[in-house]
Amino acid sequence: MENYLKVHGHKKKRLGPGGIVCVVGAVALVVTCAAIFIAMLIKRSRNSCSVRTTTVASEVNPQLLPPRSPSLLHIPPICNHRIEKTSARKSFSKYKAPVEGSLGSVYRAEFPNGQIFVVKNINMVSLSFQEEEQFLDVIWTASRLRHPNIVTLIGYCVEHEQHLLVYEYIRDLSLHDVLHSDGYKPLSWNIRLNIALGVARALEFLHSTFSPPVAHGNVKASNVLLDKELMPRLCDTGLAILRPLTSNSIKMKASEIAIGDTGYIAPEHGEPATDNTKSDIYAFGVLLLELLTGRRPFDGSRPREEQSLVKWASSRMHDNEGLLQMVDPSIKRTLTSKTLSRFADVVLLCIQADKFFRPPMSEIVSSLTSVLQKFTAAKSGAMEGAEVDPFERSFRSTYTRFVTSPTPSYISV
């Protein structure tokens, strides 16, 4: 048989072994180029300003969500300006000077459409692929934390090795400011109880809704923001795990901030396989003491035996006289002895040195709810001779009692 075929009236020679090799080589080259092109597109996509809003997560039961995948959260960026590495300020039409936190700078940002957000610029070292995945895992978890007493994560942006988190704007007022600044009138006991209950409910949500439980990791008064109705909102939830990934300068700043936070640190801090939810409960107990006494968790300006709030208070919480001596003078006359005793019982359970004796947050919420209800009933009937504060107002309107305008306080992370 002849080695020729007729095609459209022409004769064409069959390919020999050498021709076949050339064809195969050409196909392989095309496939390789296509693969390189796709890889470049993926890299460009990762390096672009990929602010991903987390609205999708809020519409789904958190426990039913599939494993984190960036594509699940991808929608168009919420900002209209590129975020330049040289200055985060260039990203916004209006800005205020940043405040340094333990993870980096924090900005109050107003976008061209008039929306106001809080932008946290987490100053990280150059991350490996595994560390980048850890960062995304933290963001994925934070995106599911939808609760009335937790500040909502709106989205995040990764560009030019910057890692930005965009949160809803509450206002620049923290519980730390109100308790320890002379610019504000003292909070009434009723408001303090409501703040304590709001924070407790947020922690119960974190500890009970998710499997495994989510720990806040940095419960303290400066991480409790107060909105215009004095509703408490926990911020920086779950971000403490990112501290080892930050730059050396930020780690030094974090160490400085941590000096003032030593009073919140649980005795088991640093132990391997520590249950951080138990550490949250301990820190919450310290926060309750802070609300009761008006003192800082650690105050180096006081005599040595009074510097640690927990140590100072622990020896005074077992008798009525000692309890009354501890109470913030501005609220002492509005408390009943039974209310004070019930509240002290909750505090003592939270600050147990042995973490296994600290109750779950669900029990703490139940106890605080009971304390508030009984105090309200006692106040209404003027039981036990308690005086009612003439300036006492509803929880939703008491912010008008403040003397001055709020001062910036987004200092933590």
Q: How far is the C-alpha of 341 from the C-alpha of 384, rounded, in Å? A: 14
CATH number, domain 55-168 = 3.30.200.20
Given CATH 1.10.510.10, say whether it is the number of domain 175-401: yes
pLDDT for residue 110 = 86
Choose among 208, 232, 132, 140: nearest CA to 363: 208
H or E element at residue 36: helix 17-47
pLDDT bucket at 107, cuts 50 / 70 / 90: confident
Please report which helix (H) or strand (E) contains residue 137, including its range.
helix 129-143
196 in Cβ contact with 202 (< 8 Å)? no
pLDDT of residue 254: 58
Residue carrying the six token digits 């075929």: 5
How far apart (Å, rounded) are the C-alpha atoms in residues 124 and 246? 4
Domain boundaries, the chain: 55-168, 175-401
Quick one: average pLDDT of 300-322? 91
Kindly tell me the burial class for residue 11, based on how many C-beta atoms sit within 10 Å of its own C-beta (0-12, 13-18, 19 or more).
exposed
Check if the beta carbon of residue 355 is closer than 8 Å to that of residue 275.
yes
**124 Cβ neighbours under 8 A, 6+ residues apart:** 135, 161, 163, 242, 245, 246, 247
pLDDT of residue 198: 98
Quote the CA–CA distance of 391 and 412 in Å, as a whole number: 32
Torsion sign across C-alpha atoms 303, 307, 311, 313: positive
* 175 touches 183 (CB < 8 A): no
Share of the chain above pLDDT 90, in %: 38
- How many Å apart are CA 83 and CA 308, to the nearest integer? 43
* Distance between CA atoms of residues 69 and 66, nearest Å: 8
Beta strands 104-110; 116-122: pairing state: antiparallel
pLDDT category at 102 given cuts 50, 70, 90 is low
- Output the pLDDT for position 57: 31
Inter-helix orientation angle 276-293/189-209, to 10°: 180
pLDDT number for residue 172: 78
Residue 117, SS3 per DSSP: strand
Query: CA 222, CA 220: separation in Å to the nearest integer?
Result: 6
pLDDT digits (tens, 9 = 90+) for 57-88: 333 232 222 333 333 233 233 343 333 332 33
